[in-house]
Protein backbone atom coordinates (compact mmCIF):
# COMPACT_ATOMS: atom_id res chain seq x y z
CA UNK A 1 0.00 0.00 0.00
CA UNK A 2 1.13 3.52 -0.78
CA UNK A 3 1.72 6.05 2.01
CA UNK A 4 1.70 9.84 1.78
CA UNK A 5 2.15 12.78 4.12
CA UNK A 6 0.22 15.83 2.98
CA UNK A 7 0.25 19.43 4.20
CA UNK A 8 -3.41 20.45 4.00
CA UNK A 9 -4.75 24.01 3.79
CA UNK A 10 -1.36 25.24 2.58
CA UNK A 11 0.32 25.87 -0.75
CA UNK A 12 3.84 24.91 0.32
CA UNK A 13 5.38 22.18 2.44
CA UNK A 14 5.84 22.69 6.18
CA UNK A 15 2.68 24.81 6.33
CA UNK A 16 -0.89 23.87 7.11
CA UNK A 17 -1.89 20.69 8.89
CA UNK A 18 -0.25 17.37 8.16
CA UNK A 19 -2.30 14.23 7.53
CA UNK A 20 -1.32 10.72 6.60
CA UNK A 21 -2.99 9.18 3.54
CA UNK A 22 -2.94 5.46 2.76
CA UNK A 23 -4.11 4.40 -0.72
CA UNK A 24 -5.44 0.86 -0.96
CA UNK A 25 -5.46 -1.06 -4.22
CA UNK A 26 -8.74 -2.35 -5.67
CA UNK A 27 -7.97 -5.90 -4.51
CA UNK A 28 -6.90 -4.80 -1.01
CA UNK A 29 -9.23 -4.83 1.98
CA UNK A 30 -8.98 -2.32 4.78
CA UNK A 31 -6.43 -3.58 7.32
CA UNK A 32 -7.47 -4.72 10.78
CA UNK A 33 -8.32 -1.88 13.15
CA UNK A 34 -5.24 -2.62 15.25
CA UNK A 35 -3.04 -2.28 12.15
CA UNK A 36 -4.64 1.01 11.10
CA UNK A 37 -4.04 2.39 14.59
CA UNK A 38 -0.40 1.31 14.40
CA UNK A 39 0.01 2.93 10.98
CA UNK A 40 -1.50 6.16 12.30
CA UNK A 41 0.89 6.02 15.26
CA UNK A 42 3.85 5.32 12.95
CA UNK A 43 3.05 8.36 10.81
CA UNK A 44 2.70 10.45 13.98
CA UNK A 45 0.14 12.89 12.60
CA UNK A 46 -3.15 13.68 14.29
CA UNK A 47 -5.17 11.80 11.65
CA UNK A 48 -4.49 9.30 8.88
CA UNK A 49 -7.02 8.54 6.13
CA UNK A 50 -7.32 5.09 4.57
CA UNK A 51 -8.78 5.41 1.07
CA UNK A 52 -10.29 2.73 -1.17
CA UNK A 53 -12.17 3.15 -4.44
CA UNK A 54 -15.75 1.84 -4.42
CA UNK A 55 -16.35 2.75 -8.08
CA UNK A 56 -15.07 5.36 -10.55
CA UNK A 57 -16.37 8.34 -8.54
CA UNK A 58 -16.91 7.07 -4.97
CA UNK A 59 -14.19 6.50 -2.39
CA UNK A 60 -14.61 4.91 1.03
CA UNK A 61 -12.51 6.71 3.64
CA UNK A 62 -11.72 5.56 7.17
CA UNK A 63 -10.05 8.02 9.54
CA UNK A 64 -7.74 6.95 12.35
CA UNK A 65 -5.82 8.64 15.11
CA UNK A 66 -3.26 6.60 17.05
CA UNK A 67 -6.02 6.04 19.63
CA UNK A 68 -8.69 4.77 17.22
CA UNK A 69 -11.20 5.48 14.49
CA UNK A 70 -13.06 8.79 14.21
CA UNK A 71 -16.10 9.65 12.09
CA UNK A 72 -14.68 12.43 9.94
CA UNK A 73 -11.61 14.59 9.41
CA UNK A 74 -11.68 17.63 7.14
CA UNK A 75 -7.97 18.13 6.50
CA UNK A 76 -7.43 14.40 5.93
CA UNK A 77 -10.24 14.42 3.34
CA UNK A 78 -8.72 17.40 1.53
CA UNK A 79 -5.40 15.54 1.66
CA UNK A 80 -6.92 12.30 0.32
CA UNK A 81 -8.41 13.87 -2.78
CA UNK A 82 -5.25 15.88 -3.38
CA UNK A 83 -3.32 12.59 -3.45
CA UNK A 84 -5.89 10.94 -5.73
CA UNK A 85 -5.70 13.87 -8.15
CA UNK A 86 -1.93 14.28 -8.09
CA UNK A 87 -1.36 10.53 -8.50
CA UNK A 88 -3.74 10.60 -11.48
CA UNK A 89 -6.21 8.22 -9.88
CA UNK A 90 -8.92 10.79 -10.62
CA UNK A 91 -9.32 13.87 -12.80
CA UNK A 92 -10.91 17.26 -12.28
CA UNK A 93 -14.59 16.90 -11.40
CA UNK A 94 -17.08 15.86 -8.74
CA UNK A 95 -16.71 12.83 -6.49
CA UNK A 96 -18.20 11.25 -3.36
CA UNK A 97 -16.42 10.51 -0.09
CA UNK A 98 -18.20 7.69 1.72
CA UNK A 99 -17.65 8.26 5.47
CA UNK A 100 -19.20 7.30 8.78
CA UNK A 101 -21.21 10.55 8.72
CA UNK A 102 -22.59 9.75 5.26
CA UNK A 103 -21.75 10.44 1.63
CA UNK A 104 -20.14 13.84 1.13
CA UNK A 105 -19.75 15.67 -2.18
CA UNK A 106 -16.21 16.58 -3.20
CA UNK A 107 -15.30 19.05 -5.94
CA UNK A 108 -11.78 18.55 -7.30
CA UNK A 109 -10.15 21.51 -9.05
CA UNK A 110 -6.63 21.79 -10.51
CA UNK A 111 -5.24 23.40 -7.34
CA UNK A 112 -8.11 23.36 -4.85
CA UNK A 113 -10.48 20.88 -3.18
CA UNK A 114 -14.00 21.70 -1.95
CA UNK A 115 -15.48 19.29 0.58
CA UNK A 116 -19.11 19.10 1.71
CA UNK A 117 -19.60 18.90 5.47
CA UNK A 118 -22.47 17.45 7.44
CA UNK A 119 -25.38 19.84 7.86
CA UNK A 120 -24.88 22.40 10.59
CA UNK A 121 -26.63 21.96 13.92
CA UNK A 122 -26.49 24.15 17.03
CA UNK A 123 -26.39 21.61 19.85
CA UNK A 124 -26.54 24.05 22.77
CA UNK A 125 -25.34 27.40 24.09
CA UNK A 126 -23.19 27.13 27.19
CA UNK A 127 -24.52 28.58 30.43
CA UNK A 128 -22.75 31.49 32.11
CA UNK A 129 -21.19 29.09 34.60
CA UNK A 130 -20.03 26.71 31.86
CA UNK A 131 -18.66 29.59 29.81
CA UNK A 132 -16.78 31.04 32.75
CA UNK A 133 -15.16 27.68 33.48
CA UNK A 134 -14.08 27.38 29.86
CA UNK A 135 -12.57 30.86 29.61
CA UNK A 136 -10.67 30.26 32.86
CA UNK A 137 -9.24 27.05 31.35
CA UNK A 138 -7.38 29.31 28.90
CA UNK A 139 -6.30 31.99 31.37
CA UNK A 140 -9.16 34.24 30.25
CA UNK A 141 -12.39 35.50 31.79
CA UNK A 142 -15.97 35.97 30.61
CA UNK A 143 -15.28 39.66 29.88
CA UNK A 144 -12.94 38.48 27.10
CA UNK A 145 -15.96 37.21 25.12
CA UNK A 146 -16.74 39.01 21.87
CA UNK A 147 -20.05 40.86 22.27
CA UNK A 148 -22.90 39.32 20.29
CA UNK A 149 -21.33 35.84 20.13
CA UNK A 150 -21.75 33.10 22.72
CA UNK A 151 -19.74 30.00 23.59
CA UNK A 152 -21.72 27.13 22.11
CA UNK A 153 -21.55 23.59 20.77
CA UNK A 154 -22.03 23.17 17.01
CA UNK A 155 -21.93 20.00 14.93
CA UNK A 156 -21.19 19.60 11.21
CA UNK A 157 -20.21 15.94 11.46
CA UNK A 158 -18.25 16.32 14.70
CA UNK A 159 -19.19 18.41 17.73
CA UNK A 160 -16.94 21.24 18.91
CA UNK A 161 -17.22 24.01 21.46
CA UNK A 162 -16.85 27.39 19.73
CA UNK A 163 -15.21 29.95 22.04
CA UNK A 164 -15.24 33.61 20.87
CA UNK A 165 -12.69 36.14 22.16
CA UNK A 166 -12.67 39.88 21.59
CA UNK A 167 -9.11 40.43 20.37
CA UNK A 168 -6.43 38.65 18.38
CA UNK A 169 -3.96 39.34 21.17
CA UNK A 170 -6.07 37.30 23.62
CA UNK A 171 -6.40 34.55 21.04
CA UNK A 172 -2.64 34.45 20.47
CA UNK A 173 -1.72 34.46 24.15
CA UNK A 174 -4.30 32.02 25.52
CA UNK A 175 -2.68 29.17 27.45
CA UNK A 176 -4.58 25.92 27.80
CA UNK A 177 -5.06 24.02 31.06
CA UNK A 178 -4.96 20.61 29.41
CA UNK A 179 -6.51 18.57 32.23
CA UNK A 180 -9.44 20.97 32.67
CA UNK A 181 -10.17 21.06 28.93
CA UNK A 182 -10.13 17.25 28.80
CA UNK A 183 -12.74 17.14 31.56
CA UNK A 184 -14.88 19.80 29.85
CA UNK A 185 -14.64 17.93 26.53
CA UNK A 186 -15.71 14.67 28.19
CA UNK A 187 -18.56 16.40 30.00
CA UNK A 188 -19.99 17.90 26.80
CA UNK A 189 -19.11 14.97 24.53
CA UNK A 190 -17.15 17.16 22.10
CA UNK A 191 -13.91 16.71 20.18
CA UNK A 192 -12.46 19.89 21.60
CA UNK A 193 -12.48 23.69 21.70
CA UNK A 194 -12.29 25.98 18.67
CA UNK A 195 -11.33 29.46 19.87
CA UNK A 196 -11.78 32.33 17.43
CA UNK A 197 -11.53 36.06 16.96
CA UNK A 198 -14.04 37.36 14.40
CA UNK A 199 -12.06 39.89 12.37
CA UNK A 200 -14.26 40.41 9.30
CA UNK A 201 -11.31 41.90 7.43
CA UNK A 202 -10.15 41.58 3.85
CA UNK A 203 -7.47 39.12 4.96
CA UNK A 204 -9.57 36.91 7.20
CA UNK A 205 -13.13 36.35 8.34
CA UNK A 206 -11.74 34.99 11.61
CA UNK A 207 -8.48 33.92 13.23
CA UNK A 208 -8.68 30.59 15.03
CA UNK A 209 -6.94 28.15 17.35
CA UNK A 210 -8.10 24.57 17.89
CA UNK A 211 -7.50 22.39 20.96
CA UNK A 212 -8.41 18.70 21.29
CA UNK A 213 -6.40 17.32 24.23
CA UNK A 214 -9.01 14.59 24.80
CA UNK A 215 -7.65 13.05 21.57
CA UNK A 216 -4.00 13.79 22.43
CA UNK A 217 -4.01 16.87 20.17
CA UNK A 218 -2.95 19.79 22.35
CA UNK A 219 -3.33 22.15 19.39
CA UNK A 220 -4.02 21.62 15.69
CA UNK A 221 -2.89 23.84 12.82
CA UNK A 222 -6.00 23.46 10.63
CA UNK A 223 -9.34 21.80 11.30
CA UNK A 224 -11.90 21.61 8.52
CA UNK A 225 -14.76 20.28 10.64
CA UNK A 226 -14.34 22.96 13.31
CA UNK A 227 -14.27 25.77 10.77
CA UNK A 228 -17.33 24.22 9.13
CA UNK A 229 -19.05 24.51 12.51
CA UNK A 230 -17.84 28.10 12.85
CA UNK A 231 -19.17 28.89 9.36
CA UNK A 232 -22.61 27.63 10.34
CA UNK A 233 -22.62 29.56 13.63
CA UNK A 234 -21.51 32.86 12.07
CA UNK A 235 -24.20 32.38 9.42
CA UNK A 236 -26.92 31.84 12.05
CA UNK A 237 -25.82 35.00 13.89
CA UNK A 238 -25.81 37.12 10.70
CA UNK A 239 -22.04 37.67 10.63
CA UNK A 240 -21.66 35.97 7.25
CA UNK A 241 -24.13 35.41 4.43
CA UNK A 242 -25.20 32.60 2.14
CA UNK A 243 -22.73 31.85 -0.71
CA UNK A 244 -20.17 34.21 0.84
CA UNK A 245 -16.67 32.72 0.74
CA UNK A 246 -15.03 33.03 4.14
CA UNK A 247 -11.37 32.58 5.05
CA UNK A 248 -10.23 31.29 8.42
CA UNK A 249 -6.57 31.61 9.38
CA UNK A 250 -5.34 29.04 11.87
CA UNK A 251 -2.01 27.62 13.04
CA UNK A 252 -0.09 30.89 13.33
CA UNK A 253 0.78 30.20 16.97
CA UNK A 254 2.34 26.89 15.84
CA UNK A 255 4.37 28.43 13.02
CA UNK A 256 2.14 26.62 10.51
CA UNK A 257 -0.23 29.22 9.07
CA UNK A 258 -3.24 27.57 7.42
CA UNK A 259 -5.91 29.06 5.18
CA UNK A 260 -9.29 27.34 5.34
CA UNK A 261 -11.97 28.55 2.93
CA UNK A 262 -15.68 27.96 3.48
CA UNK A 263 -19.09 28.74 2.04
CA UNK A 264 -22.67 27.90 2.99
CA UNK A 265 -25.33 27.08 0.42
CA UNK A 266 -29.03 26.54 1.05
CA UNK A 267 -28.76 27.68 4.66
CA UNK A 268 -27.32 24.40 5.97
CA UNK A 269 -25.06 22.87 3.32
CA UNK A 270 -21.49 23.85 4.21
CA UNK A 271 -18.37 23.43 2.09
CA UNK A 272 -14.79 23.63 3.33
CA UNK A 273 -11.97 24.09 0.85
CA UNK A 274 -8.28 24.61 0.46
CA UNK A 275 -4.99 23.79 -1.19
CA UNK A 276 -2.73 20.93 -0.17
CA UNK A 277 0.74 19.70 -1.09
CA UNK A 278 2.30 16.23 -0.83
CA UNK A 279 5.51 16.37 1.19
CA UNK A 280 6.37 12.66 1.51
CA UNK A 281 5.56 9.58 -0.60
CA UNK A 282 6.49 6.01 0.19
CA UNK A 283 5.25 2.44 0.55
CA UNK A 284 4.42 0.20 3.49
CA UNK A 285 5.35 -3.47 3.57
CA UNK A 286 3.22 -5.35 6.08
Q: What is the mean pLDDT of the chain?
A: 94
CATH number for the region 2-118+274-283 comes to 3.10.310.10
pTM of the model: 0.89
E strands of the chain, at which residues?
2-8, 17-23, 48-53, 58-65, 68-70, 93-99, 102-109, 112-116, 121-125, 152-155, 159-164, 192-198, 206-212, 217-220, 246-250, 258-265, 269-274, 276-283
The model's pLDDT over 188-226, given as tens digits with 9 standing for 90+, comes to 999 999 999 999 888 999 999 999 999 888 999 999 889
**What was the pLDDT predicted at 215?**
86
Q: Give me the numbers of helices (H) and strands (E) for the chain, helices first please.
A: 6, 18
Coil, helix or strand at residue 238: coil
* Domains 2-118+274-283 and 121-267 equal at CATH topology level: yes
Portion of the chain with pLDDT greater than 70, in percent: 100
Asked whether residue 32 carries a pLDDT value surpassing 80, the answer given is: yes
Question: Per CATH, which fold does 121-267 belong to?
Answer: Diaminopimelate Epimerase; Chain A, domain 1 (3.10.310)
Cα separation, 116 vs 113, whole angstroms: 10
Domain boundaries, the chain: 2-118+274-283, 121-267
Cα separation, 20 vs 43, whole angstroms: 7
Please name the helix (run of DSSP H) or strand (run of DSSP E) that holds residue 131, with its range, or none: helix 128-136
Amino acid sequence: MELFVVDAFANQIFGGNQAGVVLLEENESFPEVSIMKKIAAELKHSETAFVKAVNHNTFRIKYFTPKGEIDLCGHATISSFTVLRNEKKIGIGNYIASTLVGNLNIEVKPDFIWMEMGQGELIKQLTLEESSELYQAYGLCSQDRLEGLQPCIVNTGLSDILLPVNSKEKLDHAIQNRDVVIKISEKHNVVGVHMFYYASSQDATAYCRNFAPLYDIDEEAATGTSNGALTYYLFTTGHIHEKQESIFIQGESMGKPSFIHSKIIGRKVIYIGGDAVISIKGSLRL
